[in-house]
Structure 1
Amino acid sequence: MVDHILRLKLALLGSAFRGAASAVRALLVLVLAGGVGAALILLAREVQVDRADHRAALIIVASAIALGIVVAPLSAGLGSALEPRRFAAFPVPRGQLALGLMLAGVIGIPGALAVTLGIAFEIAWADTDKAGLAILAGVIGAIVLVMVSQYLVAVTAQLAVSSAAVRMITAAARLTIALALGAAAMAVLLVQSGDDTEGLIEVASVVAATPLGFLWAAPGGVDAEIAWRLFGGAVAVAALVAAWPWVVSRIVEAPQRIRSAPAIRGLGWFDLVPATASAAIAARSLLYWTRDARYRAVIIALPVAPALMMVALALAGAPVPLLWLIPVPVFALFLGWFSHNDVAYDHSAMWMHVAAPLRGFSDRWGRVVPPLLIGTPLILLASPLAALWSEVPDVYPAVVGTGLGLLLTGLGVSSVSSALTPYPAARPGAGPWDQPPLIGAAAGWVQSFTLLAILAFMSPSLTLAVMGLLDEDPEMLELAGWAGGATGFGMLVLGILIGGFVFRRRAPELLGLLMRT
């Protein structure tokens, strides 16, 4: 029976390459995993474990990759997972089922990466007198990762009984993997640049005290600490292996959880807002931002752009602390810019705005509420952290001012653009990456023009901020913050007024355009 389960796992992996779209996705995942594995081996050969910063980076990278490996099976969706519940209808001996599922966990990308991580860890310590201890720690660590990922899949599949929960778990797993890879890359870059090695060592000491870094810090400790960590790892392996048959039996024999649909009461967001036109549009826009896949994809993708810019600039040799000044302005810029075509996302729902005696101001103001509610708290919370981590004195006013200015200016420009120059967009219910046919070159021109317009209106504030950074002038940085906030407020008010006038004048044309596309 064990060999049948292993063949089933291989067949399940092979099914990912059936169909053109599925094959492309599977190939991309395979390339990413291969790149991570190759990077681990290559970086392990460069590690000098006699240096404290290299040992710290080794602990952080190994722990981050371990976290990604543990949640990796969830990133493909529970529908593709080989978990105990799938065998509930078959008379499979529980012991053989547990053994087969345990061995099947090694087959696949997570298992291969766990083995690769263990090998890379051993390579890093190969030329020292603790090479044998590193081999033992790597083997135990790989086994623990495979077993923990199996437990996580089994328990999650039992608890996640709704499609919404499954989608949320899948998205959270993918986000966790992205953050883990980013943390590993950041640790490597800090070692290469030689910046903030003391902070890196402090972070590694904290990570080493957690279950993620418990084993990876073993070879770098003293004799008693090494023995304690390896003993703890061996006990963990024994406990995980011993409890696995019992967990499998409980999941297979337990009644399947059934989600009871809750009674829908009230009108949701509409119960929370005043009975005005602007508030009603704001409530409907909030529904779009929280439930529509097209908007959710944007919310998930917004943090990616600053992260990619930071990694690219760090690789180019830019000082790492200064890079923390990038996320807040870039996030604010793209959040405000995204609404430049929000009218096109309404499609047939646009007729209500045309038929009702609706002022253009009410439509424009209602649509900017969701990005304001999302962006303003995030900017206010992230700005102090960015200013602190950048190690630039008195930079906080410039960060928060330019961040709010870019967000408000972007919403003001978008309020005019979405009413004046909309272009075809994916229909409601479409996937986040679906695009309508025949978009044409107009979309590219509108996107570029609106983005450049936001930057142009904010250029005085951005120029003052750059000058303040270069001259280390606190007064200039404070002036940049005030200028950014004032510019953003003025552009938001002006954009809503002009956009409202244009929207009311062009409402029938907008409806015709949306219905044609």
Structure 2
Amino acid sequence: MVDDVLRLKLALLGSAFRGARRLARTGLVAVLIAVFTGAVLDAAQSFRPEDDGHRAGLIVITSILALALAICPLTSGLGSALEPRRFAPFPIAPGRLAATLALAGAVGVQGLLTIVLVIALGVAWAGTPFEGAAVGGGLVGGVAIVLTGQFLVAIAAQLAVAPTTARTVALFARGVVGLCLAAAITTALVVERGRDDARVDEVAAFLSSSPLGLPWAVAGSEPPALTARMLGAIALVGVLALGWRLLVGRLLEAPERQRWVPRSRGLGVFDLVPATQGGVIAARSILYWTRDPRYRLAILALPVAPALMMIALAIAGVPGQYLWLIPIPVLALFLGWFSHNDVAYDHTAVWLHVAAHVRGASDRWGRAVPPLLLGVPLVVLLAPLFAVWSGIEGIEPALLGTSLGLLLTGIGVSSVASAAAPYPAPRPGAGPFDQPPLTAATAGWSQGLSLLAIIVLMSPTLHTAWRGATGEPELLPAAAIAGAATGVVMLALGVLIGGRVFRRRAPELLDLVLRS
């Protein structure tokens, strides 16, 4: 059976060379593989084992690349993947199928790039006492990459039933891989500069104790730590292998996703809101935010930007106490700003608002409910935790007030922007990146100006909070009050002004969405 599955995998890979479009895409992938191989091997040859900064940088870079390679199988979509559920009709033992699919998973782009990474790790430590440990740790890490990739593909194929969702998963995976490559390049440049070794050491120490970095931190460790990390990496592979075996068995027993279909009772979320124009619009907006793939991808991507920002700034040498002050304000900023084009996302549903003579303020308040329901609890719960982790005394109220101010101000500005300067958006059912043609300039202006307006309106609060965090603690209470007050005022003004603009521009808005 193993040879049959491997032949099937080779046939799937061979299909990439059929047709002009596929051949061009394959050529581009081949060029990217060649560039990746050359860059990784060149970096490995320039590695200096005696330099502590280079050692720490090697751990960080290999860990980041391992994450990118683990996600790599999702970037090509889920249609041609060798998913376990496709073998459910055949009488194959789960253990045998799990081993076969894991072996087949190593054949392809992911396996090739993983081999390159392992070879590069061996080249980096060549001629040192850690050469054998580097190869051993790299092989264990390579197996972990392949198993993790199989896990992700199987789970994504089970969850992403609709074609639109599958396409969204692939696009999101490509974005994460691109961000990982950017982080790896940034780390390499910082290490080569050699002025922020302490910060790189901190990141490397954290990764060395995590499942992501264990295999890549084996080489260069003292004998006790080397043994512990190697055993930890082997245990990680064992857990992944056992989990993969159990997952394959489960998917063979229930190849189709089981859906619980509740009895229809009432109107769902519409029963929970007031029977007013704003309440109905709020309920519909909540359904959009929870079910529409265009919204869901953005919500899933929201935590990625603050996390990557923290990593980049940590590598660049920003003190750790200030790094913990970044995620919550950034998250609040983008969450409030996200709805700056929500009218265009409604598409033809806007005509209901126009025909029913919905009050502009009711429309704006209803659309503001989802980001408020999501953002306010997140900020209130997480801001005190991140403030404590920062170690700056008395920063909790300022971080909370500033984050709430950014969230509320963002919603207020978005309430005006979505009525005053909307731009064509993907239609319902389309992927989040399927933008209509000839919208780049309009979208860029609308996005840039609305985001800039939020920052400008909050700039006094941000300046006060920064001064309080960096040496003038007496300003922290003022920053907290200013942030919350600015947010409340801007939200109220944004809803009122946006409501007026919406009613005056209702025909133009309807024409815009019908043409997009």
Q: TM-score, normalised by structure 1?
A: 0.78
The answer (yes or no) to whether the contact 1:94–1:248 under 8 Å persists in 2 is no
The answer (yes or no) to whether the contact 2:84–2:252 under 8 Å persists in 1 is no
The answer (yes or no) to whether the contact 1:53–1:200 under 8 Å persists in 2 is no
1:112-167 superposed Cα distances (whole Å, 9 cap, x missing partner): 232122222222322322323333333344345435644x3686489658449967
Residue pairs, 1:136-215, within 5 angstroms:
136-147=136-147, 149-150=149-150, 152=151, 156=155, 162-163=161-162, 192=194, 193-196=196-199, 199-200=202-203, 202-204=205-207, 206-207=209-210, 210=211, 212-215=212-215
CA distance in structure 2 between the partners assigned to 1:401 and 1:239 by the alignment? 43
Q: CA deviation at 1:203?
A: 1.7
Provide closer, same or farther for how the CA distance between residues 13 and 50 of structure 1 changes in structure 2, counting only shifts above 3 A.
Answer: same
Q: Which residue of 1 aligns with 2:10?
A: 10
Q: Letter of the aligned partner of 2:474 in structure 1?
A: E
Q: Which residue of 2 aligns with 1:426?
A: 426
1:363 aligns with 2:366: no
Q: Which residue of 1 aligns with 2:501?
A: 502
Unmatched 5+ stretches in structure 2:
none
Q: Which residue of 1 aligns with 2:354?
A: 354
The answer (yes or no) to whether the contact 2:218–2:229 under 8 Å persists in 1 is yes
Q: After superposing the two structures, state which structure 1 stretch, 130-139 or 63-72, moved more.
A: 63-72
CA distance in structure 2 between the partners assigned to 1:224 and 1:460 by the alignment? 53
Q: CA deviation at 1:381?
A: 4.3
Q: Letter of the aligned partner of 2:415 in structure 1?
A: S
Q: After superposing the two structures, state which structure 1 stretch, 364-373 or 70-79, moved more.
A: 70-79
Q: Letter of the aligned partner of 1:195 in structure 2?
A: A
CA distance in structure 2 between the partners assigned to 1:143 and 1:442 by the alignment? 47
CA distance in structure 1 between the partners assigned to 2:347 and 2:249 by the alignment? 49
The answer (yes or no) to whether the contact 2:207–2:214 under 8 Å persists in 1 is no
Q: Which residue of 1 aligns with 2:276?
A: 276
Q: Letter of the aligned partner of 2:450 in structure 1?
A: T
Q: Which residue of 2 aligns with 1:376?
A: 376
The answer (yes or no) to whether the contact 1:52–1:201 under 8 Å persists in 2 is no
1:287-328 superposed Cα distances (whole Å, 9 cap, x missing partner): 11122222223324444555666677678x563544554444
Provide closer, same or farther for how the CA distance between residues 271 and 55 of structure 1 changes in structure 2, counting only shifts above 3 A.
Answer: farther
CA distance in structure 1 between the partners assigned to 2:331 and 2:237 by the alignment? 43
Unmatched 5+ stretches in structure 1:
none
Q: CA deviation at 1:448?
A: 3.7
Q: CA deviation at 1:516?
A: 4.5
1:13-42 superposed Cα distances (whole Å, 9 cap, x missing partner): 344576788778767766666665555434
1:511 aligns with 2:510: yes
Q: Letter of the aligned partner of 1:473 in structure 2?
A: E
CA distance in structure 2 between the partners assigned to 1:130 and 1:5 by the alignment? 37
Q: Which residue of 1 aligns with 2:485?
A: 486
1:336-389 superposed Cα distances (whole Å, 9 cap, x missing partner): 233233222222222322333533222111111111222223334454455566
Q: CA deviation at 1:437?
A: 4.3
The answer (yes or no) to whether the contact 1:310–1:326 under 8 Å persists in 2 is yes
Q: Which residue of 1 aligns with 2:299?
A: 299
SS where residue 510 of structure 1 aligns?
Answer: helix
CA distance in structure 2 between the partners assigned to 1:387 and 1:100 by the alignment? 48
CA distance in structure 1 between the partners assigned to 2:480 and 2:366 by the alignment? 27
CA distance in structure 1 between the partners assigned to 2:156 and 2:449 by the alignment? 47
Provide closer, same or farther for how the CA distance between residues 111 and 265 of structure 1 changes in structure 2, counting only shifts above 3 A.
Answer: same
CA distance in structure 2 between the partners assigned to 1:392 and 1:167 by the alignment? 43
The answer (yes or no) to whether the contact 2:59–2:204 under 8 Å persists in 1 is no
CA distance in structure 2 between the partners assigned to 1:479 and 1:235 by the alignment? 51
CA distance in structure 1 between the partners assigned to 2:319 and 2:416 by the alignment? 37
Residue pairs, 1:44-63, within 5 angstroms:
44-49=44-49, 55-63=55-63
Provide closer, same or farther for how the CA distance between residues 397 and 47 of structure 1 changes in structure 2, counting only shifts above 3 A.
Answer: farther
Provide closer, same or farther for how the CA distance between residues 416 and 124 of structure 1 changes in structure 2, counting only shifts above 3 A.
Answer: same
SS where residue 283 of structure 1 aligns?
Answer: helix
Provide closer, same or farther for how the CA distance between residues 308 and 233 of structure 1 changes in structure 2, counting only shifts above 3 A.
Answer: closer
Residue pairs, 1:76-475, within 5 angstroms:
76-86=76-86, 101=101, 103-147=103-147, 149-150=149-150, 152=151, 156=155, 162-163=161-162, 192=194, 193-196=196-199, 199-200=202-203, 202-204=205-207, 206-207=209-210, 210=211, 212-221=212-221, 223=223, 226=226, 256-257=255-256, 259-260=258-259, 262-263=261-262, 265-266=264-265, 267-306=267-306, 319=318, 321=320, 322=322, 325-356=325-356, 358-384=358-384, 387=387, 394-437=394-437, 439=439, 442-468=442-468, 472-475=471-474
Q: Letter of the aligned partner of 1:479 in structure 2?
A: A
Provide closer, same or farther for how the CA distance between residues 493 and 47 of structure 1 changes in structure 2, counting only shifts above 3 A.
Answer: same
CA distance in structure 1 between the partners assigned to 2:411 and 2:263 by the alignment? 33
The answer (yes or no) to whether the contact 1:49–1:125 under 8 Å persists in 2 is yes
Q: After superposing the two structures, state which structure 1 stretch, 266-275 or 252-261, moved more.
A: 252-261
Provide closer, same or farther for how the CA distance between residues 366 and 58 of structure 1 changes in structure 2, counting only shifts above 3 A.
Answer: same
1:260-302 superposed Cα distances (whole Å, 9 cap, x missing partner): 5614523332233233322221111111112222222332444
RMSD between aligned residues: 4.6
Provide closer, same or farther for how the CA distance between residues 263 and 318 of structure 1 changes in structure 2, counting only shifts above 3 A.
Answer: same
The answer (yes or no) to whether the contact 2:158–2:257 under 8 Å persists in 1 is no
The answer (yes or no) to whether the contact 2:168–2:432 under 8 Å persists in 1 is no
The answer (yes or no) to whether the contact 1:56–1:205 under 8 Å persists in 2 is no
The answer (yes or no) to whether the contact 1:85–1:158 under 8 Å persists in 2 is no
Provide closer, same or farther for how the CA distance between residues 235 and 279 of structure 1 changes in structure 2, counting only shifts above 3 A.
Answer: closer
Provide closer, same or farther for how the CA distance between residues 355 and 10 of structure 1 changes in structure 2, counting only shifts above 3 A.
Answer: same
Q: After superposing the two structures, state which structure 1 stretch, 198-207 or 362-371, moved more.
A: 198-207
Q: After superposing the two structures, state which structure 1 stretch, 321-330 or 337-346, moved more.
A: 321-330
The answer (yes or no) to whether the contact 1:416–1:499 under 8 Å persists in 2 is yes
Provide closer, same or farther for how the CA distance between residues 397 and 201 of structure 1 changes in structure 2, counting only shifts above 3 A.
Answer: same
Q: Letter of the aligned partner of 2:78 in structure 1?
A: L
Provide closer, same or farther for how the CA distance between residues 482 and 99 of structure 1 changes in structure 2, counting only shifts above 3 A.
Answer: closer
Q: After superposing the two structures, state which structure 1 stretch, 401-410 or 84-93, moved more.
A: 84-93
Provide closer, same or farther for how the CA distance between residues 25 and 377 of structure 1 changes in structure 2, counting only shifts above 3 A.
Answer: farther
Number of aligned residue pairs: give it.
Answer: 510
The answer (yes or no) to whether the contact 2:94–2:252 under 8 Å persists in 1 is no
CA distance in structure 1 between the partners assigned to 2:70 and 2:387 by the alignment? 33
Q: CA deviation at 1:4?
A: 5.6
1:423-458 superposed Cα distances (whole Å, 9 cap, x missing partner): 433322222122334548555444443333333322
SS where residue 195 of structure 1 aligns?
Answer: helix
